[in-house]
Amino acid sequence: MRVLVIGSGAREHALALAASHDPAVTALGCAPGNPGTAAVAETLGVDLTDPAAIAGLAVSWRADLVVIGPEVPLVAGAADAVRAEGIACFGPSAAAARIEGSKAFAKDVMNAAGVPTARSEVVDNPAHLDAALARFGPTWVVKDDGLAAGKGVVVTTDVERARKHALMLLDGGHPVVLESFLDGPEASLFCLVDGRTVVPLLPAQDFKRVGDDDTGPNTGGMGAYAPLPWAPPGLVDEVVATVVQPVVDELDRRGAPFQGLLYAGLALTSAGPQVIEFNCRFGDPETQVVLPLLRTPLAGLLHAAATGSLDRHPPLDWSGGAAVTVVLAADGYPGKPRTGDVITGSEGDGVLHAGTRRREDGAVVSAGGRVLSVVGVADDLGTAREDAYARVA
Ligand code: AMP
Ligand code: GLY
């Protein structure tokens, strides 16, 4: 099987690395890739915002399976374009990707499916903002309605701060979503979906704030671990039954069946699991800790999801250990990052590349906000964490 991974982050490096261990894979490509993926896959060029270019590459490279990592091409319809060429694609249609691309659409689907989530209101007129803010609190959650790479959210007990963020978004022409605050630990549950059948992966947790001890602005995720030793037994089954399957059924009923990875971002509240958000793709950095624990060959599994045959796939095989990743970000992130700094030691095991670039002299340099995702794997969580930080050092 010729497998083409689309994307250039540490998530795609993790996907390509796992696919490279699948004996069924005869050729592996990654577009646009990065210096890390180049060690396991052929690097190909593509514009991630251009569905026709992605489909064209899939045809010319003779891909049997295309795995689309990021949300931007999915929301733009890259999976539709690939499937229109008769090539299996792991990733939802543009219609199904709206579950991530529009928070208002996600809320509508959840309400129709009876899925527990925060109460919310969309505000698109600054004149209605103060009255709407008064209906929320004492902790305010203010979000951008569209794709914001995890950075469009402010959670605050300061109503002035909430107001300023909302006005800033509205000024930019973005509708704002206000939400009730969900209290409780967060968990990310990734589910493979073939349109109807749902196969959950191990639950993980990521840390979104930039600073130590979970402080500072939200980012795309600064670190993650899996599995969750504190999670109640039965959590995964409960979330599939009360959250994921109902949403998958509702999307199918609307004529927008979901094929790919449905990521449920959950708050485990005293009233049970509630949805914070859905993503239409593998999470970053959680993928970097979930995939190293999976023994089942990845490409065959994703191919089954892409071709509607997950119900005939054997049960997943997990290694039983734990994994931890630490994201190394550039100075300035999540604002404008400093780039061009030389990185040493980036070729080691467990070092996944994101914003890196190989300079003409061969040196690997930073080229983005999220630079590396360093992964430790061990029998238990504490040792995996030590292993991750030892590699970082
Ligand atoms: P999102 O971009 O929707 O994933 O939000 C980013 C982060 O903001 C989440 O991971 C949570 O930590 C936090 N967050 C978002 N919505 C809520 C909510 N309704 N209640 C509490 N925290 C939230
Ligand atoms: N880890 C958060 C995300 O992938 O959106």
CATH of the domain at 72: 3.40.50.20
Query: Does ligand 2 lie within 6 Å of residue 277's CB atom?
Result: no
Task: Mark whether 376 and 327 lie in a shared domain.
Answer: yes
Kindly state whether residue 129 falls inside one of the protein's structural domains. yes
Each of the 393 residues of the chain gets a pLDDT tens digit; together they read 999 999 999 999 999 999 999 999 999 999 999 999 999 999 999 999 999 999 999 999 999 999 999 999 999 999 999 999 999 999 999 999 999 998 889 999 999 999 999 999 999 999 999 999 999 989 999 998 776 655 578 999 999 999 999 999 999 888 899 999 999 999 999 999 999 999 999 999 999 889 988 888 888 899 999 999 999 999 999 999 999 999 999 999 999 999 999 999 999 999 999 999 999 999 999 999 999 999 999 999 999 999 999 999 999 999 999 999 999 999 999 999 999 999 999 988 899 999 999 999 999 999 999 999 999 999 999 999 999 999 999
Question: Is residue 290 a part of any domain in this protein?
Answer: yes
Q: Are 377 and 290 within 8 A, CB to CB?
A: no
Q: Are residues 58 and 157 in the same domain?
A: no
d(CA 197, CA 259): 9
Per-residue pLDDT at 103:
82
In this structure, the residue with its CA closest to atom 11 of ligand 1 is 276
221 lines ligand 2 (CB under 6 A): yes
- From ligand 1's centre to the CA of 281, what distance in Å? 17
- The pick from 71, 263, 275, 282 for probing ligand 2's pocket by mutation, whose C-beta has the most ligand atoms within 8 angstroms, reads 263
- Verify that 16 and 80 share a domain, yes or no: yes
Distance of CA 277 from the midpoint of ligand 1 (Å):
7
**Element of type H or E holding 230:** none
167 with 247, same domain: the answer is no
From the CA of 106, which ligand is nearest?
1
Whether 112 maps to a domain, the answer reads no
Q: Is 281 found in the same domain as 227?
A: yes
Atom of ligand 1 nearest to the CA of 279: 4
Task: Please give the number of the atom of ligand 2 that sits closest to the Cα of 150.
Answer: 5
Same domain, 237 and 348: no
pTM of the shown model: 0.94
149, 179, 209 - which closes a domain: 179
CATH number reported for the structural domain that contains residue 245 in this entry:
3.30.470.20
Q: How many domains does the chain contain in total?
A: 4
22 ligand 2 Cβ < 6 A: no
Q: What is the pLDDT of residue 153?
A: 85
Query: Do residues 300 and 309 touch, judged by C-beta distance below 8 A?
Result: no
For ligand 1, atom 9, the nearest C-alpha belongs to 276
Report CA dihedral (238, 294, 297, 186) to the nearest 10 degrees.
50
> Which ligand is located closest to the Cα atom of residue 141?
1
150 alpha carbon to ligand 2 midpoint, in Å? 7
pLDDT tens readout for residues 28-78? 999 999 999 999 999 999 999 999 999 999 999 999 999 999 999 999 999
353 and 341 in one domain?
Answer: yes
The span from the CA of 309 to the CA of 304, in Å, is 5
- State which of 62, 97, 132 marks the end of a domain: 97
Q: Looking at the structure, do residues 195 and 253 belong to the same domain, yes or no?
A: yes
Asked if residue 69 has its Cβ within 6 Å of ligand 2, the reply is no
Minimal-distance CA residue to ligand 2 atom 5: 283
CATH number for 126: 3.30.1490.20
Is 262 a domain residue?
A: yes
**Domain end (from 139, 161, 179):** 179
152 in ligand 2 pocket by Cβ < 6 Å? no
124-141 confidence digits (pLDDT tens): 999 999 999 999 989 999
- CA–centroid distance, residue 34 to ligand 1 (Å): 29
104, two tokens: 């208002």
Q: Is 283 in the pocket of ligand 2 (CB under 6 A)?
A: yes
- Which residues does a 6 A CB cutoff place in the pocket of ligand 1? 118, 141, 143, 150, 153, 155, 179, 181-182, 186, 208, 218, 265, 267, 276-277
Residue 103 belongs to some domain of the structure: no
Q: Closest by alpha carbon to 364, among 375, 376, 374, 353?
A: 353
For 306-323, give the secondary structure using H, E and C.
HCCCHHHCCCCCECCCEE
Verify that 171 and 187 share a domain, yes or no. Answer: no
SS3 content of the chain, % helix, strand, coil (to 5): 35, 30, 35
Q: CATH number of the domain at 345, please.
A: 3.90.600.10
86 and 47 in a common domain: yes
Tell whether 333 and 295 lie within a shared domain. no
Cα-to-centroid distance, 68 and ligand 2 (Å): 15
Q: Is 9 in the pocket of ligand 2 (CB under 6 A)?
A: no
Q: CB neighbours of 231 closer than 8 A, spacing ≥ 6? A: 187, 203, 268
Establish if 220 belongs to a structural domain.
Answer: yes
Q: Which residues contact 15 (CB under 8 A, 6 or more apart)?
A: 5, 7, 67, 69, 282, 287, 291, 298
Same domain, residue pair 234 and 201: yes
Note the pLDDT of residue 214: 85
Domain that holds residue 378: 322-392
Residue 16 lies in a domain: yes
Rounded distance from Cα 82 to ligand 1 centre (Å)? 32
Residue 105 belongs to some domain of the structure: no
